[in-house]
Structure 1
Amino acid sequence: MNRITRATVHLAALRHNLAVVRSYTAGGARVMAVLKADGYGHGLTRAAGALTEADAFAVSCLAEALPLRAAGHRHRIVLLEGFFGAEEIPLFRREALEAVIHSPWQIECLEQAPAGEPIDVWVKVDTGMHRLGFRPEDAHAARERLRRCEAVGTIRWMTHLACADDRDDPTTTAQRRAFEQARAGLPGEASAANSAGTLGWPGVHGDWVRPGVCLYGVSPFIDGGERPPLRPGMTLEARLIAINHHRAGDRIGYGGTFVCPEDMPVGVVSIGYGDGYPRHASNGTPVLVRGRTTGLTGRVSMDMLCVDLRPVPDAAVGDRVVLWGEDLPVETVAAHCETIAYELVCQLTSRVSFVYAD
């Protein structure tokens, strides 16, 4: 029996989730599918291949954009952090890439760029995220400088929502107003809605929505409201490699953080933090064994973790263990780990075998 630690990426689920996004954008907003961080851990080019019906792609940097071009994708590609130095501008021109402009130094680079094919840009406005972008009162001046720049083609607008994952938080409405005021009277398409904005805030859709994590089947919301009809884009699984019978009072794993409350069977599973499963997963973090829910016992080790087999008395060595995916949303696991699903799907290591299936 080989050590099996496998992530199956469900390409049909990604296509389904894109269709769900379309159903939420009945007003006609176009879809910019976000593929950064290796397609949120699902594989950059394979995810792009499943999402070809999107109107554009978005990534963070050239290292993510260039493989998409090399794979033959002719979509518009927006780099969400723009260029990191003037030396990258020729590649933006050559590959017809679009740059988000968030800082004055980037405008200076474009003003000093030699003659050549102009590149399309998106002016980033900081409406409340306070990470990247021009202050709303400086947006007009930034756009005017770009408009006079021969290296710049079409100018569009962008902002990022800080609290859209909470559908009761008024911050999103305030950001929408600030964004509208910043570009009042000025032309140009606009984009504000991330996954949560797309699925929960139709008033911020604008001309372009930028769904990311929801395309991979993860609900972007933290408010406990209705879950969108998304399908998991990934199933992470391993195998039971041992079943041990312990006595009441026995302590399991490093530090003995789980104490057996009674005589009980404990399974050992072939996955650990060396594979990217979070070491800080708490006792009781759910897994599925034979399709039944049980929980972790003790600390996660580098190569293994232990699970309570009392709910699965017929478990056998070699049984499949689902860590997230089918009937176990990754955001549920993330909540037990006091993190977010984004981190879990993005941190799987090269020890995990990836399989792609429709």
Structure 2
Amino acid sequence: MSRPLTATIDLSALRHNYALARRLHGGKVLAILKANGYGHGAVRCAEALAGIADGFGVAAIEEAIQLREAGVQGPILLLEGWFEPAELALIERYELWTALHSLEQIDDIEAAELTRPLTVWVKIDSGMHRLGLAPADFRQAHARLLASGKVGRIVAMTHFSRADELDCATTPQQHACFVETLADLPVETSLCNSGGILGWPALHGDWGRAGVMLYGGTAADRLLPDWPRPVMNFDSRIIAVRELAAGEPIGYGGGFVTERPTRVGVVACGYADGYPRVAPAGTPVLIDGQRGRLIGRVSMDMLTVDLNDHPAAGVGTPVRLWGEDLPACEVAAAAGTIDYELFCNVKRAAFVYHD
């Protein structure tokens, strides 16, 4: 028997979420597969979206090559662009789209020996202050790229820093900066990540970039009748049961002490598997489908749960760590993080895919 920790990936839910993203956005939408499909398995997710997605987005070229060598067709955008000029040859070879975020990268294109024109997404810094050209530099960049003869298509893109905050003025301000920067230039546009797709329908451009919403994660404080469905069920089982008297410490540091006689379930999952070590006592779990709680400090390979309200639970009882009926965002909030991080950190689990 193998260790009873599984990440079950519902590919039909993934397809549902992509269709929802595309319907809400109204234009074309890239399915973002960076960080191994947010921990869900980039290749399997790309295969599930084949023939449905308008294209895919990854962080860097090694992620794109993995998809191409697995047989994934269609556009793949490098969201961080290239890191060395030599990568432009690989971008051409694997027929990739690429972001561009500095004037120095235009020098790379002008010096490159290319046999076919590139598709370049020019990133404009409208207020995120991470990657991107200063708005005042965009027109110069646009003109140089066209004059190089090595760029066949330009998409202007930006990234909203606070799209998940629907009562915040930052997103409209960034949008206004972006629109003013483009003025009358006839270029395609991409503005919205998941938060923008879900929360800012008036600001959608030609291309959306659906990331965490594809996987059922939270991206905006907006309730929808057809909310993105959870794609990952992260499940384990109880491997031991302890009967402790009141006043007994549990786990490393003894930070949790039983207040009454307590049945404790030991679950095969810990921070080495991606469960957050900082999750406090009281973090929710599902014990055989019923709400329960974490007690004691999370260890590398195990965590402990309170079985007092679960008299039928014992060795072998299933425990859901997040997924259907227990949103990852709820677990993440208890641990002071976000569901993105939970998804991306999952490892040492058996991945099971179904439609």
Q: For residue 98 of structure 1, what is the amino acid of its counterpart?
A: W
Partners of 1:115 and 1:279 in 2: CA distance: 49
Q: How do 1:265-304 residues align onto structure 2 when only pairs under 5 Å count?
A: 265-304=263-302
- Cross-structure match for 1:8: 8
- What do residues 77-136 of structure 1 show as CA deviations (whole Å, max 9, x unaligned)? 111011111101111111111111001221110011124212110110000100000111
The Cα shift of 1:22 comes to 2.4
Name the SS of the counterpart of 1:116 in structure 2: coil
Q: Distance in 2 between matches of 1:2 and 1:81?
A: 39
Quote the Cα distance in structure 1 between the aligned partners of 2:38 and 2:79: 15
Gaps of at least 5 residues in structure 2 are: none
Which one-letter code corresponds to 1:3 in the other structure? Answer: R
CA distance in 2, matches of 1:118, 1:195: 30
Aligned partners of 1:31 and 1:311: how far apart in 2? 46
Unaligned runs of 5+ in 1: none
SS in 2 for 1:335: helix
> How do residues 333-344 of structure 1 correspond to structure 2 at under 5 angstroms?
333-344=331-342
**Whole-Å Cα distance in 2 between the matches of residues 85 and 177 of structure 1?**
33
TM-score for the superposition, normalised by structure 1: 0.96
Alignment of 1:128-147 (within 5 A): 128-147=127-146
SS in 2 for 1:17: helix
Q: 2:328 aligns with which of 291, 306, 330?
A: 330
**Is residue 89–residue 114 contact of structure 2 (8 Å, CA) maintained in 1?**
no
Provide the C-alpha distance between the structure 2 equivalents of 1:111 and 1:233, rounded to a whole number of angstroms: 43
2: CA distance, partners of 1:174 / 1:121: 25
**Distance of 1:3 and 1:87 partners within structure 2:** 44
Aligned to 1:35: 33
Asked if the contact 1:293/1:311 (under 8 Å) is kept, the reply is no
Is the contact between residue 57 and residue 76 of structure 1 (CA under 8 Å) also seen in structure 2? yes
Deviations 1:154-202 (A, max 9, x none): 1110000000011111111111111101111111100010001001101
**Amino acid in the other structure paired with 1:36:** K
Rounded to whole Å, the distance in 1 between the matches of 2:106 and 2:317 is 58
Residues 230-269 of structure 1 correspond to what in structure 2 (within 5 A)? 230-269=228-267
Distance 2:223 2:333 in 1: 17
Poorly superposed stretches of 4+, deviation over 3 Å: none
Q: What is the CA RMSD across the aligned residues, in angstroms? A: 1.2
Matched, 1:169 2:168: yes
In the TM superposition, residue 3 of structure 1 has moved relative to its aligned partner by: 2.0
Is the CA contact 1:3–1:239 (under 8 Å) kept in the aligned structure 2?
Answer: no
Distance 1:226 1:318 in 2: 36
1:10-159 alignment runs, 5 A limit:
10-25=10-25, 28-52=26-50, 53-159=52-158
1 CA distance for matches of 2:23 and 2:187?
A: 25
Q: Is the 8 A contact 2:322 2:331 kept in 1?
A: yes
Structure 2 Cα separation of the partners of residues 190 and 262 of structure 1: 60
Question: In structure 1, how many angstroms separate the alpha carbons of the residues matched to 2:9 and 2:120?
Answer: 33
Match of 1:355 in 2: 352
- Residue 91 of structure 1 aligns to a residue whose secondary structure is helix
The amino acid of 1:72's aligned partner reads G
Q: Is contact 1:330-1:341 (8 Å) kept?
A: yes
Taking every aligned residue pair, what percent have the same amino acid on both sides?
50
Shift of 1:151: 2.1
Q: Distance in 1 between matches of 2:302 and 2:190?
A: 44
Rounded Cα–Cα distance in structure 1 between residues aligned with 2:152 and 2:7:
42
Please list the CA deviations of residues 263-300 of structure 1 after superposition, one character each: whole Å capped at 9, or x if unmatched: 11110001111111111111111110110111111110
Deviations 1:274-329 (A, max 9, x none): 11111111111111011011111111001100001122111011011100002000
- The alpha carbon displacement at 1:71 in A equals 2.2
Partner of 1:296, secondary structure, is: strand
- 1:79 and 1:246 map into 2 onto residues whose CA distance is 54
Per the TM alignment, residue 226 of structure 1 is displaced from its structure 2 partner at its CA by 2.2
- 1:315 corresponds to which letter in structure 2? A
Q: Secondary structure at the match of 2:295?
A: coil
Q: How far, CA to CA, are the matches of 1:287 and 1:115 in structure 2? A: 54
Change (3 A) 1:66 1:2: closer
Counterpart of 2:223, as a letter, is E
